[in-house]
Amino acid sequence: MRLWQRFTGNIDGLLLAIVALIVTLGIVTLYSATNESSTRMTAQFVNLAVALAAMWIVAQVPTQTLLRSAVPVYLIGLALLVAVAVGGDVVNGARRWLHVGVTRIQPSEMMKIAMPLMLAWYFHRRAATLGLGDYLIAAVLLAVPTALIIRQPDLGTALLVLATGCYVIFLAGLSWRIILGLVIAGAASLPLVWTLLHDYQKRRILTLLDPSQDPLGSGYHTIQATIAVGSGGLGGKGWLNGTQAHLEFIPERHTDFIFAVFSEEFGLLGTSVLLLLYSALIARGLMIAANAPTPFSRLLAGSVTLIFFTYAFVNMGMVSGILPVVGVPLPFISYGGTALVTLFLGVGILMSVARERKLMQT
């Protein structure tokens, strides 16, 4: 019993239960999306085991250790991004991967954790004398890795890294007047941004406005996904009975577009349950952040929680046709190892912050 308590003592039971329910729905959906492929399912269970181990390890790490590791982790991540830009592997026209020893890694994924760590550390150190200059320095710390990721190009990951940093800056107390000014400036710069986009990125945005202009090309993903979502109706077609998925109309149905498979088979009722679980996950994370005893842990927990929201919102938005296709997985449901480990590292960080609160109370 004591050994079990030592093993689970730093685990937030409610948070783990919510994530476990989402993962269960993911396993069920993935089994259907992969046409009952034992190879894919075995690989996903291995990914899940690695991700759970990473979560448990991070949950045992005191937030003070996370604080001390922020700068080294950020600098290592930045160095790896530079290494990718110089000599990374090119796959499907994008230079995103780097060979390290006998394996290959995607350093941009590391920045999803390194960025909130770094900015939370910075604002924690500057909390007593925080001024406009500090926000400008934070913006530079955020802009450099984001620009390197955009250059690969990997717009989806760049948006997620940018979001994690912006959440920290917002939670650190940036004035609403400055936020409004930045929004206006961003809107004014859209023509310039358009000229900097790659052709495939422009096609994705134009396809969002009118998918029917290229139904067999750039609009195919959006059209087939929205057909699947709509055909699910109220109660869905039933598990393993989704026609769009099993007749292979939905592309990338086990990764980026798995939400289309879920919606077709479980309908509006199933989607509502999934949304409730994501809402519970976000609510629990924000509660942990609100009760965090230090600025560092509060900013870190808040940004990690909001990135869960960003993952879910962007994925569901692109599958439903209200956002362009940017290659963002559905959290804890889509097939894949790197993103799953990153998400569970975030859960482990939340558990570490919750543990810190318990220690302060005792």
CB burial of 65-89 (b: ≥16 within 10 Å; e: otherwise) equals: ebbeebeebbeebbebbeebeeebe
For the cut 70, the answer to whether the pLDDT of residue 2 exceeds it is: no
User: What is the per-residue pLDDT for 4?
Assistant: 45
User: What is the per-residue pLDDT for 186?
Assistant: 80
Among candidate residues 290, 361, 303, 346, the one with its CA nearest the CA of residue 59: 346
Q: Averaging pLDDT over each range in 82-91, 126-135, 170-179, 268-277, which range is the top one? A: 268-277
User: What is the per-residue pLDDT for 263?
Assistant: 93
Quickly list DSSP for 220-273.
Answer: HHHHHHHHHHHHTTTT-S-TT--HHHHTT-STTTTTTTHHHHHHHHHHHHHHHH
Q: Average pLDDT for residues 148-166, to the nearest whole number?
A: 88
Alpha-carbon torsion, ordered 68, 76, 295, 312, to 10 deg: -140
